[in-house]
Amino acid sequence: MYSIWRYAAADNGVGDTNDLALCAAQGAGKHIEVCSLQIVNAHASTATEVMLKSGSTVIWRLRMPAAGTPVQFTFNPPLRCNSNEGLNFQCETASTVFVSAQGTVSP
């Protein structure tokens, strides 16, 4: 049985380089899958690289220009985290990134 998860961007975006938990680990034998992602770097002058991680392992990355246009990604097949690992988001440099993501948890 698949369950649905979603993460909505925080009001002030991501402004640091710490990991941000988009979806917590779901337990032994369960995998978080990322089906879609919406993202924009709203900082006027600072570009950054953004990463999605399975725990601490990078599974997707993208360079985001400063003052960028919002973009949406649909992953088909979905990006998949390792079993019992959370999905994290990180910016390489402090910026103002807004990220929202949706997906499923598979057995």
Residues of the chain with pLDDT under 50: none
Per-residue confidence (pLDDT) for residue 107, from 0 to 100: 84
Per-residue confidence (pLDDT) for residue 40, from 0 to 100: 97
pTM here is 0.93
Per-residue confidence (pLDDT) for residue 95, from 0 to 100: 94
Distance from C-alpha of 93 to C-alpha of 99, rounded to nearest angstrom: 15
Residue 94 burial (10 A CB sphere; 0-12, 13-18, 19+): middle
